Amino acid sequence: MRTEEYMHELKDRGYRLTGKRKEILDFLLLHNRYISARELIEYMKEKYPTMSYETVYRNLKTLRDEGMIEESRFEDNETKYRIVCQTGHHHHYICIHCGRTMVIEHCPMPELTVPDGFHVLQHRFEVLGYCAQCQHEMQS
């Protein structure tokens, strides 16, 4: 989806269409990887110098609650965000250094033994590590 489509969805759900919210969506769509709130705030402060951390976090929470972005916690305990994939059911390898993602081609859920009496509502698999490019950069 494009920024305009996300903004239209938000308007239909009763949210105000703000320039800041549009800018956050533009940034997340452009980078297509996991982004930390810190990185997003640094970018937003260039355009909106008085913008508060609370405004960024409030917008991230709204976008997450509306199912437009997803969050993941990385090994340094930092939460990062990215646009939800629109390509159907799949899982990711995630580089903990740069935030890039790669699709896991096979869903491992069918091979798991679910405990008796447990009803699975949803699942998500994330494999954290370093992509080839970041490994190369770290070795240099």
122 CB-contact burial (10 Å; exposed 0-12 / middle 13-18 / buried 19+):
exposed
Torsion, Cα 40 87 65 91, to 10 degrees, reads -80
123 is in an annotated binding site: yes
> Rounded to 5 degrees, what are φ and ψ at 123?
-150, 160
Answer yes or no: is 89 a known binding residue. Answer: yes
Binding residue per annotation — 98? yes
Q: Would you state the structure tokens that stand for residue 113, as one six-digit string?
A: 């033994």
- Residue 95 among known ligand-binding residues: yes
CA separation (Å) from 24 to 63, 85, 102? 10, 17, 23
Whether residue 107 is annotated as binding a ligand: the answer is: no
Binding-site residue positions for Fe cation: 89, 123
Binding-site residue positions: 89, 95, 98, 123, 131, 134
Binding-site residue positions for Zn(2+): 95, 98, 131, 134
